[in-house]
């Protein structure tokens, strides 16, 4: 089993009242939950679950920070969840089955549920980048990683990882 990502507690109390959210006070999750060695490429990544902080249950919103050289995730696609990314800062490379393309602030990309087009973002620049990752939440979802022997599944106890043959990590 992999080591869970580390958490950084909020830095200070917020001056905003709900439903407003101050990202500076939302817990930061560092790294990934992937089993070793798959998480090494995303160990510099940090995420803040803004949707969770707002109490959203039908879709999630994460503010993601990628330092130079870091990946957003392993290349993946979801069976039952739509995803959208929106670049806020920096330059990222979007990698999909069709190839690579540069993404800059204001650019967005969407990934419909069930479309087997593995995707992820890489920060190949020398500056940090930030983007929003927005996705639906489905208990029926599984996440497939076409480049590696990994599938993320879920049951009543939560998320877990298996190899493509179904054996658990």
For 101-130, how does the pLDDT look when each residue is reduced to its tens digit (9 = 90+)?
A: 999 999 999 999 999 999 999 999 999 999
What pLDDT sits at residue 3?
Answer: 46
Residue 67 lies in a domain: yes
| Residue 97, both tokens | 């089955």
Percent residues over pLDDT 90 in the chain: 86
Is pLDDT of 43 > 70? yes
Residue 107 lies in a domain: yes
The whole model's pTM is what? 0.89
Domain that holds residue 76: 26-162
Three-state SS for 159? Answer: strand
Report the DSSP beta bridge partners of residue 136: 59
Is pLDDT of 66 > 50? yes
For 69-104, how does the pLDDT look when each residue is reduced to its tens digit (9 = 90+)?
A: 999 999 999 999 999 999 999 999 999 999 999 999
Residue 18 lies in a domain: no
Q: In what order do the strands lie in the sheet with 92-96?
A: 99-103, 92-96, 120-122
Residue 19 lies in a domain: no
Is pLDDT of 21 > 70? yes
Per-residue pLDDT band for 12 (boundaries 50, 70, 90) equals low
Residue 6 lies in a domain: no
Count of C-beta atoms within a 10 Å radius of residue 122? 18
CA angle 164, 166, 169 (to 5 degrees): 90
Q: What is the CATH number of the domain that holds 134?
A: 2.60.120.10
For 25-38, how does the pLDDT look when each residue is reduced to its tens digit (9 = 90+)?
A: 999 999 999 999 99
Residue 59 lies in a domain: yes
Number of domains in the chain: 1
Estimate to the nearest angstrom the gap between the alpha carbon of 13 and the chain centroid. Answer: 26
| C-beta separation of 52 from 36 below 8 A | no
Residue 99 lies in a domain: yes
């Amino acid at each position: 089993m992999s080591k869970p990502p580390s958490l950084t507690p909020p830095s200070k109390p917020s001056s905003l009242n709900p439903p407003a959210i101050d990202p500076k006070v939302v817990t930061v999750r560092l790294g990934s939950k992937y089993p070793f060695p798959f998480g090494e490429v995303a160990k510099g990544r940090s995420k803040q679950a803004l949707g969770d902080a707002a109490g959203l249950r039908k879709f999630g919103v994460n503010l993601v920070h990628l330092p130079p050289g870091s990946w957003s995730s392993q290349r993946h696609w979801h069976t039952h969840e739509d995803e959208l990314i929106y670049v806020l800062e920096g330059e990222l490379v979007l990698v999909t089955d069709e190839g690579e393309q540069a993404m800059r602030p204001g650019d967005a990309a969407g990934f419909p549920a069930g479309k087997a087009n593995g995707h992820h973002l890489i920060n190949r620049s020398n500056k940090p980048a930030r983007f929003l990752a927005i996705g639906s939440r489905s208990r029926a979802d599984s996440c497939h990683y076409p480049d590696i022997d990994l599938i993320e599944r879920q049951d009543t106890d939560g998320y877990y990882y298996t190899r493509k043959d179904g054996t658990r990590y």
